Amino acid sequence: MKKIILIIIQILFTSCSFGQTPIDEVMKKNPLFFKEMIDNKEKYPIEIIFTRIIRDSLNHPNLETYTYFTHNNLYFNPASIIKLPICALSLEKLNEWQKPKIHANTRIGAGKGFECQTEVNVNESKLEYPPTIARYIEKLLLVSDNEGYTRLYEFLGQKYIKRKLEEKNYQATKIIRRFTNCDTLQNRYTNPIYFYNDNGELLYSQDMAFNNTPFYPQNTNWSMPEKTTPMNIFNPDYENEISLMNAHEILTAIVLPESIDFHKRFRLSNKDYELLWYGLGSFPNERKLTIQEDDKDYFPAYKKYLFYGRQKDANIQKNIRILNVVGWWGGVVTDCAYIIDFENKIELLVSARIGINHNEINESDAYHKYSFPFMQKLGEGLYEYEKSKLNEKKYLPNLKRYQKLWSN
């Protein structure tokens, strides 16, 4: 088992106390910006997880993790963050099937077997690129596409998702709904699924599934903590949920699988990992998007919150890749990112979540005035922190397995 050093530091802000962790050091260097949020924690609940990656002589990563929280047991709607485990589980399910003719690039369709379900007829589709699991994953990771998420949710089924998350001990994660207007019962039913060859001939069908189990794990050694909800938008018991720590661990399991306990990893091939890495780290303008919306709507930093702040005119640095997943909904912005600099041999993991009490401030304005600048300054600051520590590292990382994905 790889050595993982977990340093949990929970800070309830009553004053600006800096100088204890790398996160504190970053905030200390920009007090005028961060003080506004620290002094108004009811308006801006914040969660930050920062992981330093220490390589050994064999390039194996050891992790040092720091956390920074303003609240405990506060429910944040995860929005699109839950798309990452859905992508990984979809590939894992294919690998478990071990059906030679069915893989990530096999055409996939959906039937309709219950209320609120919609069909995907592959053979009648006029799309230039017929739907496949790989293309759904590409859409999810490049531009956080909701349709792709819904189709993978239906392929997996609610019960399968629940079982797999429990097996991997991601028990602070609950994925129980599509990104549609389906109600709680309708989301328990998932469509019949069909796989076709390139000639439109049926290869395999999966029956409609129904989840008849409770949403939370029935484990006497674990219980979901009582939660409070910012802004009282909805009942979290019937919404998707993922703790920032679970999201951070899942991203780590995908980008640095060798650093995570075996039971928390996903059953993926090298090709699967590369598909995920490429989708997480690419910019929309680098791929011909296989979705109906105008590609011009998706600027390079469209889903790069940490470091670039989702700025349309962001100066994209060619030597830096950010493998990340984001969420943005209901006053909450989240980004989980693995930031790598091929030229300077820098790598870091950072996950952050900031909420905005839009009962008091305009939500739309606040995203651009507070949330995205917060993400940008935090990402930049932690990157610079790692850069300043390069001379203290005995072994610099070999990042070639990622770099080759964008070498052409």
First to last CA, the chain: 35
**pLDDT at residue number 70:** 80
**pLDDT at residue number 132:** 96
Which residues neighbour 235 within 8 Å (Cβ) at sequence distance 6 or greater?
229
**pLDDT at residue number 125:** 56
* 262 lies in some domain: no
* 243 lies in some domain: yes
d(CA 220, CA 201): 48
Asked if residue 110 lies in contact with residue 151, where contact means CB atoms within 8 angstroms, the answer is yes
* 131 lies in some domain: yes
**pLDDT at residue number 16:** 35
Residues of the chain scoring pLDDT < 70: 1-19, 124-127, 216-235, 288-296, 357-364
* 310 lies in some domain: no
* 139 lies in some domain: yes
* 104 lies in some domain: yes
DSSP 360: T
* 182-188-192-198 Cα dihedral, nearest 10 degrees: 70
**pLDDT at residue number 231:** 44
d(CA 25, CA 31): 10
Structural domain for 154, as ranges: 79-220+229-252
* 172 lies in some domain: yes
* 19 lies in some domain: no
Asked if residue 383 lies in contact with residue 339, where contact means CB atoms within 8 angstroms, the answer is yes
d(CA 354, CA 334): 7
The total domain count for the chain is: 1
